[in-house]
């Protein structure tokens, strides 16, 4: 009788144990589904945050750039090469925001339809602010070029009242040089 009771107890414990494993497996599957769902939602939130941060950056660039218009229909490019990927096609008189001027390639870096790209300078209507930006770019490019040379003569460099740097040449005239030479 003791053996029968032990067998019976063993039999019922096996049934109970099987039900417990099935319930635990079911609970594990539910938790894995919930985990996957939360990971997907987290990914969606991350993508949304990246998008919003990009829009904030674009808005900041627009606020610190020069507003202009497109002179003629053309394209915005990924970089300063007409053979690079087109980011967008442009229409005449569409508003753009000029960030900087690339004097080497004669392109403006612009914001157009919330994309940052490059447009040939000839395709942009110039205004007073853009002309000044181009002029300053040429000046800084020229200054960088000349400041890369070492001076072999002993010139006395003078800083002018508006911050310019010059020396008196052999003809007695002022010759302006890079401001870095006055430091």
- What does the pLDDT read at residue 149? 46
- Domain annotation for the chain: domains and CATH numbers: 66-148 (2.30.30.40)
Taking Cα atoms as reference points, which of 98, 102, 90 lies closest to residue 65? 98
Instruction: Give the per-residue pLDDT at 17.
Output: 62
Regions of the chain short of the pLDDT cut 50? 145, 147-152
Please report the pLDDT score of residue 7 as a whole number: 66
Does the pTM surpass 0.85? The reply is no
Question: Residue-wise over 31-42: b if at least 16 C-beta within 10 A, else e?
Answer: eeeeeeeeeeee
Of 33, 35, 54, nearest in space to 43 by CA: 35
């Amino acid at each position: 009788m003791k053996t029968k009771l032990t067998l019976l107890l063993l039999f019922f414990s096996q049934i109970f144990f099987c039900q417990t494993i099935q319930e635990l497996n079911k609970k594990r599957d539910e938790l894995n589904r919930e985990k996957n769902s939360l990971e997907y939602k987290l990914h969606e939130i991350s993508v949304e945050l990246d998008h919003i941060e990009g829009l904030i950056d674009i808005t900041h660039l627009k606020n610190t750039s020069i507003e202009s218009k497109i002179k003629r229909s053309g394209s915005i490019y990924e970089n300063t090469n007409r053979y690079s990927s087109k980011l967008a096609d442009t229409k005449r008189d569409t508003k753009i925001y000029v960030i900087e001027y690339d004097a080497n390639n004669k392109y403006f870096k612009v914001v157009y339809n919330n994309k940052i790209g490059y447009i040939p300078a000839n395709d942009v209507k110039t205004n007073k602010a853009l002309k000044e930006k181009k002029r300053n770019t040429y000046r800084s490019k020229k200054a960088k070029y000349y400041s890369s040379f070492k001076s072999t003569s002993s010139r006395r460099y003078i800083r002018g009242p508006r911050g310019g740097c010059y020396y008196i040449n052999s003809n007695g005239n002022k010759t302006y040089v890079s401001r870095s030479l006055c430091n």
